Amino acid sequence: MALRSVNLHNIRYIGDRAFKHGGNLSTVMAPNDGIRSIGRDAFLHTEFFNRNPNNDVIYVGNWVIGFRGNIIGNVALRAGTIGIADGAFKNQTALQTITRPNTIRYIGAYAFGGSGLRNISLQNIQYIDEGAFRNAENLTSVTTLNAVRSIGARAFANTAITSFGFTPSVQCLGEAVFENARNLRSVSSMQSMVSITAIPDNFFYNTAQRVLQYQAG
């Protein structure tokens, strides 16, 4: 019998392609804010996904899971959004800016990977997953990292960011976070990360090494 509805009550993690090609799945209920991660293409090619209008953001509960069509310029996320799923805006090359509520806590793996995003405020964001902004080659400005606890591997690899400021909230760093970020010249407040006792492999690999400065907070 084909799956037509699913209730995600008490579910914390949804894996990659969990419901993909579940063509008859038309109802997805997410009655609370307990979800912590939604994998890439988790609901792709389901009735639930396909019935959303073109050129619109698609949500499961308070999570963004994707966008139907191509974003041009800005995308606005609705009030109460708490997470952006893995790959939600990946390769949206005409995306330039995002308007978002300060309720967002999670940015999934490759959520903006390969996109045209130019700048973003990370105010109140706590978790930035692997490759979240990797290959977003137009990304020059990342601001307000006031609450970040974890930055995944290659999160800002191959971007155009010029500076980055750490905060005491950071507890976990992945490898190669700034790999090939060749314009990165200023990193501030690294000494404030009291929970960090090691710099991971390839953390600053192929950045602007000759002029990279570590500034006091």
Phi first, then psi, for residue 75 (nearest 5°) are: -120, 135
Reported pTM: 0.93
Domain 61-217 has CATH 3.80.10.10: yes
| Res 195: pLDDT | 85
- Cβ(72)–Cβ(50) under 8 Å? no
| Res 217: pLDDT | 46
Q: Which H or E element spans position 187?
A: strand 186-188
- Cβ(124)–Cβ(147) under 8 Å? yes
**Taking the mean position of all CA atoms in its chain, how far away is CA 103?**
14
Question: How far are the Cα atoms of 27, 133, 205 from residue 111, in angstroms, in the given order?
Answer: 24, 7, 22
Alpha-carbon distance of 196 to 168, in angstroms, equals 9
Low-confidence stretches of the chain (pLDDT beneath 70): 1, 209-217
| Res 214: pLDDT | 52
| Res 12: pLDDT | 95
* Sheet containing strand 186-188, strands side by side: 163-165, 186-188, 213-215
Alpha-carbon distance of 108 to 110, in angstroms, equals 6
Q: Which H or E element spans position 151?
A: strand 150-151
